[in-house]
């Protein structure tokens, strides 16, 4: 087996291993990108939320999740207008500053702003940039056939980058790797739900986020090792409120914000980096791999404010998520200037009001550094629940 | 023989009358409790909905009318009190308030939706329709229309990727027909669709010709002011005999003006392109910031995308109406999206034939679809062509982010620069 590009966690205690994971996650130089490239590896960057990484993986390339960073958009700021979310700007900054060199960039029509990215990036970098048109009418029976065609188009684009055809066998192998990865992440979320005192919200978040930074085989090995040890932790339960965090599907809240929440709450479920956990079940290995991936995207998937599906009214899905996680309250956040997130806040809070479920509403930005005021408000909210 | 006073200005007069008649019909529908379809300007599917005699409501136009009539703030405030953020689309918020007020609108009462048909040309359409779904529990039909995947990468009939998209759109249109049949109790009549497509063809041909005729010197209409009237008819009367006749008359008027050297009201000194969405809260005054200096807008991307992309000129093949309708919808809605995301190439190609002196970019807070890439687009255009440009931000609905003094300062400086350029070129 080749040397891993992220090895610092190996042969370390659980706490030290998680520390190394956090160090990697917070490193805005994205060192694993350079390590991959140093081996001659190529990279396809894919913007939030969901992307069929298996197709890129099957070509032997690294799928890199473009999710912005807490950095200053020195060059990128002048490419955009005033009233936009931060993730657009910092993501482009990573490209313009050559911090994350790519061979190809793919965005999706998840929102009005993000759908501009293929054009904006395409005018500013020399590698191919495109939109993957994931279906916005999943209620049409034809959408699986359409999406299979769209995945095939993407596959041909990736083949041009890799210089070699992607075989069905390679796709099935990649699907198997990702199936294992999804199963491990489901296991992590079961721990969060059933024994949340064993893993804090920020620890779990970092462990998931690394999936977008390193090869999935490595991520599988990391999770296999750490989950075993997390389960064996001797921690005891504390007086904390069980909450669901909603609003982390695209731009990511700062890790310190998640840590602040974790100080008073057990985050028993969330939509943080939901794209990495979009598929809820294993993708079948028999049959046509692209059809299986398309079918899974449409029929065996989670929900988010940026996918329209008449079968998944978001507020009802949130209530179901809360019931399933046995949550007492909800934290409903939105990234500043995130139109889908801000619009969904209204539906969420009205549904929670009707159901009589307490909730905390707020906004965040990936680069914010002060959480004192929010943490005080949150503590008050939690105390009201604990002592009511 | 045509008399000048009969023909010049006819488009504006007839357009205003048609526009009023549209809202009168909507008011009657609301009062009688009749069915109505809510649709959007990019991919309205009007041609198909005519077959089922469904009156068409365009919430974007309802909303912008509240701004033009200077009452938008009342609607925005009510929606924000309801819970909507100041940072989301003003059109959506004005409509939320309109719905909360049982359709009360400055131009009459707007009927409730019986059906909403939307495309993905703007993602906010989707979120907007979800609000109606919650309010009214009505059928919501999202017609998913894949757009251009990368700059210059449009595919055309016969290409496997285009055919994958076309089949998807065609199947969805057939599904929409079933929804309309169930809603109205009327059977789909392909001959009526053929008629609507024929009227739409006349309009598309006319729209394309009208835009082309503004290459004349002086320009025959102002793309920002007059153009918005034509746009209203294009959207509200697409697929109707009245709409087709209007555009035949409009072409006649513009050809007459071009032949006789009759320009707009402005003493034309500078010919400008407008990129973005108009500033409706101060619509007339905004134009005056330019017309006072002799500036007139000879074309605008707004007249492309807000017309649903029909400026592209696709005409339906009436021998295969349904298939051609799907193909046309795919091509012109894609064109509308390209007009927002990839417009720098089209703008660069217009500078010479339209004898353009400057380009005015007007990104707005409310609309990220249009505004996100404009700063970068401007950089790209500047790199391609030596052309003056102005970049000013405000809003299409929210007067709280419209600073007239700042806009005027910027416009004045822009024209001083244009004058200096002209002097230097002599």
From B392, which residue of chain A is nearest by alpha-carbon distance?
A81
From B139, which residue of chain A is nearest by alpha-carbon distance?
A310
Query: End-to-end alpha-carbon separation of chain B, Å?
Result: 42
Instruction: Give residue B4's pLDDT band: very low, low, confident or very high (50, 70, 90).
Output: confident
CB contact under 8 A, B150 and A131: yes
The tokens of A189 are what? Answer: 């979320």
Q: With CA atoms as reference, report the closest residue to B336 among B299, B362, B370.
A: B370
Candidate from A112, A119, A314 with C-beta closest to B151: A119
User: Tens of pLDDT along B108-139?
Assistant: 999 999 999 999 999 999 999 999 999 999 99
CB contact under 8 A, A346 and B342: no
Show residues of chain B in contact with A308, CB under 8 Å: 126, 130, 142
Query: In 3-state terms, what secondary structure has residue A75?
Result: coil
Candidate from B84, B147, B363 with C-beta closest to A346: B84
B190 conformational bin, left if phi > 0, alpha if psi -120 to 50, beta if neither: alpha
Proportion of chain A above pLDDT 70, given as a percent:
100
CB contact under 8 A, A145 and B167: yes
- Chain centroid to CA A307: how far? 14
Tell me the C-alpha distance between A35 and B365, whole Å: 41
Proportion of chain A above pLDDT 90, given as a percent:
98
Give ∠ CA A31-A172-A182 in degrees, rounded to 5.
55
pLDDT mean across residues, chain A = 97
B373 conformational bin, left if phi > 0, alpha if psi -120 to 50, beta if neither: alpha
CB contact under 8 A, A113 and B130: no
Instruction: Give residue B3's pLDDT band: very low, low, confident or very high (50, 70, 90).
Output: confident
User: For position B84, what pLDDT does the model report?
Assistant: 97
A57 min Cα distance to partner chain B (Å)? 21
Tell me the C-alpha distance between B221 and B215, whole Å: 10
Candidate from B87, B140, B380 with C-beta closest to A83: B87
B136 min Cα distance to partner chain A (Å)? 14
pLDDT at B399 over 90: yes
pLDDT at B1 over 70: no
Q: Which residues of chain A form beta strands (DSSP E)?
A: 43-47, 62-66, 104-107, 129-131, 241-246, 265-270, 329-335, 359-364
Once rounded to an integer, what is the mean pLDDT over residues A141-159?
Answer: 98
The partner residues of B295 in beta bridges, in order of sequence, read B270
User: For position A112, what pLDDT does the model report?
Assistant: 96
- H or E element at residue B303: helix B302-305
User: Tens of pLDDT along B12-30?
Assistant: 999 999 999 999 999 999 9
User: Tens of pLDDT along A276-334?
Assistant: 999 999 999 999 999 999 999 999 999 999 999 999 999 999 999 999 999 999 999 99
HEC-encoded secondary structure of A172-183: HHHHHHHHHHHH
Instruction: Give residue B406's pLDDT band: very low, low, confident or very high (50, 70, 90).
Output: very high
Instruction: Give residue B378's pLDDT band: very low, low, confident or very high (50, 70, 90).
Output: very high
Instruction: Give residue A82's pLDDT band: very low, low, confident or very high (50, 70, 90).
Output: confident
User: Tens of pLDDT along A245-288?
Assistant: 999 999 999 999 999 999 999 999 999 999 999 999 999 999 99
B354 conformational bin, left if phi > 0, alpha if psi -120 to 50, beta if neither: alpha
Answer for the pair B250, B256: CB distance below 8 angstroms, yes or no.
no
Candidate from A136, A150, A340 with C-beta closest to B142: A136
pLDDT at B426 over 90: no
User: For position B258, what pLDDT does the model report?
Assistant: 97
Q: How many CB pairs under 8 A join A and B?
A: 171
Query: How many contiguous H segments (helices) and E segments (strands) does chain B have?
Result: 18, 10
User: Tens of pLDDT along A25-78?
Assistant: 999 999 999 999 999 999 999 999 999 999 999 999 999 999 999 999 999 999
Write phi, then psi, for B273 (nearest 5 degrees).
-105, 145
Q: With CA atoms as reference, report the closest residue to A146 among B331, B145, B141.
A: B145
Once rounded to an integer, what is the mean pLDDT over residues A138-143?
Answer: 96
User: For position B2, what pLDDT does the model report?
Assistant: 56
The partner residues of B109 in beta bridges, in order of sequence, read B104
pLDDT at B266 over 80: no
Tell me the C-alpha distance between A92 and A105, whole Å: 11
Q: Which residues of B265-302 are buried (b: 16+ CB within 10 A; e: fewer)?
A: ebebbbbbbbbbbbbbbbbeebbbbbbebebbbbbbbb
pTM: 0.96
User: Tens of pLDDT along B177-220?
Assistant: 999 999 999 999 999 999 999 999 999 999 999 999 999 999 99
Candidate from A112, A139, A150 with C-beta closest to B122: A112
């Amino acid at each position: 087996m080749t040397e891993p590009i992220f090895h610092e966690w190996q042969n370390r205690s659980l706490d030290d291993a998680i520390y190394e994971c956090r160090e990697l996650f917070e490193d805005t130089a994205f060192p694993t990108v350079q390590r991959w490239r140093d081996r001659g590896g190529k990279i396809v960057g894919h913007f939030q939320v969901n992307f069929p990484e298996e197709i890129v993986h099957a070509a032997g390339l690294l799928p890199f999740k473009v999710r912005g960073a807490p950095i200053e958009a020195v060059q990128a700021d002048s490419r955009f207008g005033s009233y936009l979310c931060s993730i657009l700007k910092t993501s482009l900054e990573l490209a313009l500053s050559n911090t994350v060199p790519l061979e190809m960039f793919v965005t999706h029509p998840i929102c009005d702003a993000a759908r501009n990215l293929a054009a904006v990036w395409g005018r500013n970098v020399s590698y191919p940039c495109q939109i993957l048109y994931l279906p916005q009418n999943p209620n049409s029976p034809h959408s699986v056939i359409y999406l299979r065609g769209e995945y095939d188009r993407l596959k041909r684009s990736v083949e041009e980058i890799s210089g070699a055809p992607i075989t069905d066998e390679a796709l099935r192998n990649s699907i198997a790797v990702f199936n294992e990865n999804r199963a491990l992440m489901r296991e992590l979320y079961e721990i969060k739900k059933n024994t949340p005192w064993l893993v804090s919200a920020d620890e779990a978040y970092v462990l998931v986020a690394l999936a977008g930074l390193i090869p999935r085989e490595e991520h599988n090995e990391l999770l296999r090792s750490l989950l075993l040890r997390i389960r064996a932790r001797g921690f005891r339960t504390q007086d904390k409120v069980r909450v669901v965090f909603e609003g982390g599907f695209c731009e990511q809240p700062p890790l310190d914000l998640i840590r602040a929440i974790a100080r008073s709450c057990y985050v028993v479920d969330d939509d943080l980096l939901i794209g990495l956990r979009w598929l809820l079940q294993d993708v079948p290995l028999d049959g046509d791999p692209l059809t299986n991936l398309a079918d899974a995207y449409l029929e065996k998937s989670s929900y988010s404010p940026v996918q329209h599906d008449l079968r998944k009214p978001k507020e009802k899905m949130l209530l179901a998520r809360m019931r399933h996680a046995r949550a007492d309250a909800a934290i409903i956040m939105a990234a500043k200037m995130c139109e889908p997130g801000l619009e969904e806040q209204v539906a969420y809070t009205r549904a929670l009001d009707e159901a009589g479920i307490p909730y905390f509403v707020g906004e965040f930005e990936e680069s914010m550094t002060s959480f004192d005021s929010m943490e005080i408000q949150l503590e008050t909210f939690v105390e009201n629940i604990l002592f009511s | 023989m045509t008399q000048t006073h009969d023909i010049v200005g006819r488009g504006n007069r007839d357009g205003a009358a048609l526009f009023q008649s549209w809202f009168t019909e909507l008011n009657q529908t609301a009062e009688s409790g009749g069915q109505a379809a809510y649709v959007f300007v990019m991919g309205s599917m009007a041609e198909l909905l005519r077959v089922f005699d469904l009156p068409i409501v365009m919430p974007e136009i309802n909303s912008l009318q509240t701004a033009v009539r200077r009452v938008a703030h009342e609607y925005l405030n009510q929606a924000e009190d309801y819970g909507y953020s100041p940072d989301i689309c003003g059109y959506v918020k004005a409509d939320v308030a309109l719905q909360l007020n049982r359709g009360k609108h400055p131009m009459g009462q707007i009927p409730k939706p019986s059906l909403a048909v939307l495309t993905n040309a703007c993602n906010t359409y989707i979120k907007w329709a979800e609000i109606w779904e919650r309010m009214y529990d009505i059928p919501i039909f999202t017609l998913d229309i894949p757009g251009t995947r990368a700059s210059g990468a449009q595919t055309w009939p016969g290409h496997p990727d285009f055919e994958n998209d076309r089949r998807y759109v065609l199947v969805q249109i057939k599904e929409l027909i079933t929804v309309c049949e169930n809603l109205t109790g009327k059977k789909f009549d392909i001959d009526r669709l053929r008629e609507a497509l024929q009227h739409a063809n006349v309009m598309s041909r006319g729209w394309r010709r009208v835009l082309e005729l503004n290459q004349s010197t002086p320009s025959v209409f102002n793309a920002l002011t007059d153009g918005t009237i034509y746009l209203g008819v294009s959207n509200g009367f697409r697929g109707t005999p009245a709409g087709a006749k209007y555009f035949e008359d409009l072409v006649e008027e513009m050809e007459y003006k071009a032949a006789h050297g009759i320009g707009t009201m402005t003493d034309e000194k500078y010919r400008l392109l407008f990129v973005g969405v108009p500033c409706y809260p101060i619509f007339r005054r905004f134009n005056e910031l330019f017309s006072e200096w002799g500036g007139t807008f000879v074309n605008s991307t707004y007249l492309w995308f807000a017309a649903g992309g029909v400026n592209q000129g696709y005409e339906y093949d009436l021998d295969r109406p349904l298939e051609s309708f799907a193909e046309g919808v795919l091509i012109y809605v894609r064109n509308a999206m390209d007009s927002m995301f990839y417009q720098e190439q089209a703008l660069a190609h217009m500078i010479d034939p339209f004898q353009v002196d400057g380009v005015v970019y007007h990104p707005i807070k409310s609309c990220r679809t249009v505004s996100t890439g404009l700063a970068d687009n401007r950089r790209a255009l500047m790199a391609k062509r030596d052309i003056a440009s102005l970049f000013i931000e405000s809003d299409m609905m929210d007067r709280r982010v419209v600073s007239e003094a700042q806009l005027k300062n910027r416009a004045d400086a822009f024209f001083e620069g244009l004058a200096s350029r002209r002097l230097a070129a002599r």
